[in-house]
Amino acid sequence: MAGVNMGTGTPQDAADLVEYCNHPGGTAWSDLRIRNGHRAPHAIKRWCVGNEMDGDWQIGHLDAVDYGKKAREAMKLMRWTDETIQTVVCGSASPNMPTWPEWDRIVLEHTYDLADYLSIHRYYENPGDDDDFLASHLDMDRFIETSAATCDYVKAKVRSKKTMGLSFDEWNVWYQSRQAPHPWERAPRLLEDRYSLLDALVFGGMAISLLNHADRVRVACLAQLVNVIAPIFTEPGGPAWRQTIFYPFRDVSTLSPAAPRGARRSSTRSATCRPSAAASRCARSCARRSRRRSPAATSPLSPRRPCATRSRGRSPSSRSTRTACARFARRSTSRPSARPKWSRAPSSARAPSSAAPTSRPPTPPKGPTPSVPRASASPAATPAATP
């Protein structure tokens, strides 16, 4: 993700930067990139159109209406330069701002059809009450849900079919109250917060909140990564080491893979997991089991066993699980070429040959229909099913 300057910059400056980064060559800005030593395009797909533009600390600060108009023109030029990019418009800098969430509503009303994400930011610090600090993730839940509700309101107002995603591109534990003025110096030590175990617990709760709302929070960027409010510290010419918040960040990044187009919900909200996520998990579970099954278990003559999902304590009889199993079953049975050769019925149970006469069979006499024995595979030719 890259950002364009919406304070002192112009919409044309934004389009020029996209051209420099993404265009293959043959234009003034792309040729300049090639002369600078980068022949292949950088292919940056997500672009932030400004940053925290409702903050009075920003050079070129704008109100919501002026920013919405400027951002819309910038996105038009950026997309004309590269139609494959995705754009992120600025939401309010913080829920503590007096402009939130009204700023977000006004900006989205100007840009909803061109933007792909709304940018939101949130930091937490311990005000002296450990219990309140540990519950920061609850406030983060409410913040995400309010931002999503604002997007949905604008979606209904402008009569759009698109659901706006959230880009939570700044979040962390940050002790802003510890900042102090400093004289001008080169490479000063700024915002080098030292984190405790308590900070790591709060950080982990925030990460779980992001996972619980991954159906709407489609981008989440930790700010920052090295030295400045960071999980990793370094010394010039010396060692590097991990802070306490490194470990929950590592675990969330490596142990909770997200399902396609949905969220892999945590165990605390498994009962409200959306069907799309359940379907993805169930499909993967069915695919793994089908590879382990024996021919008898996958024979079309044998009844299909229900899929008992093992995803975080969910009941196999839940509605979303049954829906997921049914969808996966339809996908599996709609591909005759994928059926193994040994799944065919024995010759005694096959339909008559096409060469046989096609005369109409006689009408059976009225009365109880005699039961027809069900054909089954020979035990000698079919190994036992794997439990």
Output the CA–CA distances (angstroms, integers) from residue 197 to 162, 243, 250, in the order listed. 41, 9, 15
Query: If you count them, how many residues does the chain have?
Result: 387
**Is 185 noted as a catalytic residue in this protein?**
no
Distance of CA 11 to the CA centre of its chain: 29
Q: Which of 52, 83, 185, 235 is catalytic?
A: 52
CA proximity to 124, closest of 140, 113, 109, 112: 140
Report how far residue 216's alpha carbon sits from residue 167's, in angstroms, rounded to the nearest whole number.
9
**Is 170 noted as a catalytic residue in this protein?**
yes
CA proximity to 203, closest of 257, 143, 144, 244: 244
Report how far residue 86's alpha carbon sits from residue 84's, in angstroms, rounded to the nearest whole number.
7
Range list of H helices, the chain: 11-22, 28-35, 64-81, 102-111, 130-134, 136-157, 197-212, 246-255, 275-292, 295-298, 319-333
Q: State the DSSP string of 77-121.
A: HHHHH-TT-EEEEE--S-TTSTTTTHHHHHHHHHHTTT-SEEEEE
Q: Which of 102, 125, 145, 170 is catalytic?
A: 170
Q: At a CB cut-off of 8 Å and minimum separation 6, what does 45 contact?
A: 84, 85, 86
Output the CA–CA distances (angstroms, integers) from residue 289 to 283, 293, 334, in the order listed. 10, 6, 18
Residues with a known catalytic role: 52, 170
